[in-house]
Structure 1
Amino acid sequence: MSGKVIEDYTLHEALGSGQYGKVYKALNVRTNSLVAIKAVKVEKFKEVPKLEEFTMNEIQTLARINNPYIVKFIEMLKTKNHYYFVYEYCNGGTLEDIINNQKTLPEHEALKIFKQLVAAFTSIVKNNIMHRDLKPANILLHNGQVKLADFGFCKALQSPQDLSQTMVGSPIYMAPEILTGHDYTMKADIWSLGCVLYEMLYGECPYEESTIAKLISAVEGRDIQYPSKYNVSQKTITLLKDILIKDATKRIDWDELFKRELTKTDLQDIQVYQILEQKDPSNKTQSSAELEKQKASKSFKYILNERNKIFFLYKVLEEMLELNFDQETPIYCFLMVKQVYAEALFIKKNLVDTFNIPAFQHLKNKFEYWNSIPQTFEYKSFCKLMDKEVDNSKKLALTFKEEAYKFFKNSIYQNDYEVQKEIDNTYEGNNHTFRRLMLRYIEDIKSKHFNKFLDPTSDDSTKWLVHIHKTLDALLLDEFFENFIQIDITDFEQQPYFKTFHTYQKSDLLTVVSNKINYTRNKLGF
């Protein structure tokens, strides 16, 4: 591929290759500057569904961070067969290369690199992001300066105290809490940072084993050693011991680490770097492009929120199946699946097949910056997601129809012509019939469990009240999202809406639900 021209870039020699593609040194012929370009075949995204998630993760994260010790993402390009991801060029290879060549680094060099890594994490922690894959292979160098890279496994949190559960990263650099399958916080990255410093000083990680089982056994069964033959100072060993504490609650936290190890010069470097970037006239085009990206990103959240409506309907459906109220439940579930399919089909028709924002009354005046969305990588991924949503919900409708038929003839609706029509028609639904039956479903639950609702000692009745509340919101889906879902919270399950139910006393929740039933009936004209 050397010598190939991609828009403003000419590709030169390969810098390295990974599981999904190659990285090339390239020249921007317009600005005469060097860049690094990662080339990934389009088919790879089809073969490895998670690759798309990881790539979007990295792009979105790097777009938010402006730090001299973190590699910059410049832009994404696409041809018929490849995606090209353009990054800041780094001429010094990786920290892994240096460790492999030198085995160990002098303490002053190791601490210099370590301080720059801590400086990189000031921006990461400020944005409530966990890197989750910190290791020497992901630490680049340019003219002797650290450039932290590879944010594919990173995770953005709502607050520094939030927990995560997913086991990702490289085992020998993983914090004990991740290895053993426990929830973990941003302190997990501190352990990984300690492993990197330890490896620079001692030539190996604190724990290295051939299997996960042996690694867990070693972490749980033996203390970390600090061999005296490496002549590491007591001050640095004390720092390592504060970082490499197996109990995360006792491990040094980020605030303390920043105060202890991040020098004033490092902080000034970051601040000066950010100020110069904003003031440098040569960055006007870049700043404009960045502003454009931010606007597109904000408007894309509204698009993503439309898909979250499907997610919410699925959540209500799952509760219906789990609670299994009565023998009519399969009928109610089938009607809910048809609503999911209708919602998915509408989004596909107006946001995938065409980009018809005016079809969404609540969106067309919401944000002014829609035109750039169809060119973004996020939108292309969204289109693929919606194609899958339509296919999945269509298959589900067929499956749930079969179940509904089994129960229809002996149900309370056996002589209801409108319901018969709904079951006969696999995909198209009548909104009036759907709403009528769901309100009947809700009233029946309330009647059956009313005495339990009044009994303060009945624990299981709260879940029924919460289910009624969510089902009513599913009937007024657009209004519910408009009034109660926060657009800036991209992790839908972290929406405050889902947490408010825990704050209610049961008597208050019963009042809220009763009022909500009346409001919904009036709003729908029943």
Structure 2
Amino acid sequence: MKNSVSFDNQNLVMPIENSFNQKQKRNVNPSQFDFTVGDFCFNLKDKIGSGKFSIVYKGYNITNGKRVGIKQMKQSQFQTPKMEQLLMNEIEVNRKLKSNHIVQMHDLIYQDIWIYMILELCPEGDLETYLEEAGGMLDEEESLDILTQILEGLKTLIYHGYIHRDMKPANIMKKGQTYKLADFGMATKVDTAGRDFIQEQVGSPLYMAPQILQNQKYTVKSDIWSIGLIFYQMLFGKTPWPARDIQSLISAIKEIPLRFPYDYPIGEQAKHFIKGCLQIEESDRFNWEQVFSHPIFNVNNKGHLEYGYKFDDKFKNIMRDLQQAAYLYQLFSRFDDLITFFESNHIFNQLKTLDFISQKEYVDSDELIRIFQEYDFVDLQDPASHILMDIKEIIKQNKYDIKSIFNVYLGQNAEKLNLTQFTKILHQFLPGLHDKEIEHCFEAFDNDNDGLISFQEFEYHLNFGITNSYKQKDKIKTKGMKIAEEIRTIIVEQNTTLKQLFFQFDHGNTRQLDFEQFKSFINYIKPEMHENDIKDLFQFFDERKTSHVSLGNLEKVINKNSSLQAKRKSIFIMH
């Protein structure tokens, strides 16, 4: 039976009456269901969703057989003023707002220890689930259609003087091909012209505007930031900045420019819309009028942005590594020190072929920096790379010691991690990871494919790109590994062997080369190699610091690091 319940002797809610509850022919037998709530019934097995404070079941209206969503919440959760206000917000917004793009509430029932919201059923679930089922991203046309529907719901919200404050894919429901806003617990009344400032920190961190993340005052424009992120995520299957905790997200937003994946060009207007929504400063961000009237919603404004130049895979791989290193080392102004002469030369040769600079006698750094900052060369098909980037950022922000982490989860008398132990480590950083995501990461870390992860493998993947006050990056090792792989490739291309080449320069037949001999050896293989690269390579191969490079050590290092480098580039290309 329906009851109107009060907290603190105040009558807070009234049953919501509408045509939905008008008596019709009964065609549902309540005895066949686990629970009956007023004129509605449901089974526990028909759970279709859950949140922090509620579980949603598929149910039925006993009086007419129509399917409904039944949101079940414990009354005890709403005893504090703050929690009580969240409940009142959701009830008030749902009662006032009527739109085909807002999930409607049909009834509100208090029964025993529970509160039940009877909602419009959206059987296809939420946008988050739909994106996962679609492989993470959608094409531009479908993304734009969903964005248009989301904004239709937001128009109603704004018109009535509310902002949502918890916009995210999980709060956008799908009913057929119609998308609807849901979950208005964080919604609040505000001056929609943007004159009122709000201080309260609410919402889901990944989609929060920077002002909310930093506990600063914000305005109605906070939802616009969230809209830009959701649209970006639909298009590219990820958000622009790597983060799994608030501090690393704030750092990423401040330090990484908004980039668009190079391999997935989108329309100019789509790009302009996202840029306008994702301005860090509220004064620079679109207002709601600019959002609703943006040219992207003009039906005649279609077509993709086709870049006027093409980069090969090697160029893109180098730029991926640069972008990762530039963020983790904060070296935007001096990133060239991290790459080899071959790599930098390859980039500039590519740039010289582009129409917009082909008439120049030289390539200035501004051109490279513009490309570096505007385009994201991430491999969107790599399921493990984003996870690894997030873990490394957490390690960097919290100054964790990799060796200590490894040893804590290592079994007794064991030297390597199995999948179970590796899973525990990943869950320490990212509790929400799915089994499949962990399996992808495990396969990526397991360089020798023995089903276990050694500390060397663990350290190799987690140390690449990490530096701070207590651990500096070994630049010589990184450059040496890259050059070693290039040497191996050249040897294969010339159909020779390392040993045959080596003995051409080992004049004393000592099976080792001093620096001058080593320099001649490298120059024979690659005449244009810069001397600084040769010096770094010599130090890298001279592991025993004897001022000589032996044939055995050269073979061992090149073979070992070429396989590691190949696997890292194929699996862990960062953004």
TM-score, normalisation: structure 1: 0.48
